[in-house]
Amino acid sequence: MAKLVLILAVLGLGYWYWSGSRQPPAELIESARLEENAAIMQQCINQEQRMQSAGGLGGLGDVGASGADAERLCAEKNGLVKRDGQWHRR
């Protein structure tokens, strides 16, 4: 019985240590996720703008999307929604 109590105490302390000090706070995880989503959207919008300008210069017409449409298309493609000025996953 004493061995069982000792084992449970060690497991409990190990779990407490791992879940508390070894894991990043939820706020840091969320802010990193929002930064990653913003970078994904910026890359996509830049790509759409390059496609539009390349199509216009090449005489192929409007290949890419216009400014507002590029944001909408990129949001749909990446599964993101803009809330409070930041990009969140659906």
- Listing DSSP states for 33-85 in one string gives HHHHHHHHHHHHHHHHHHHHHHHHHTT----S--HHHHHHHHHHHHTEEEETT
pLDDT of residue 29: 84
d(CA 54, CA 13): 60
Which of the four pLDDT bands, split at 50, 70 and 90, describes residue 68? Answer: low
pTM: 0.61
d(CA 28, CA 63): 39
75-88 pLDDT, tens digit each = 999 999 999 999 99
pLDDT of residue 34: 93
pLDDT of residue 40: 95
pLDDT of residue 61: 46
8-60 pLDDT, tens digit each = 999 998 888 877 766 677 777 888 999 999 999 999 989 888 887 776 644 44
pLDDT of residue 35: 95
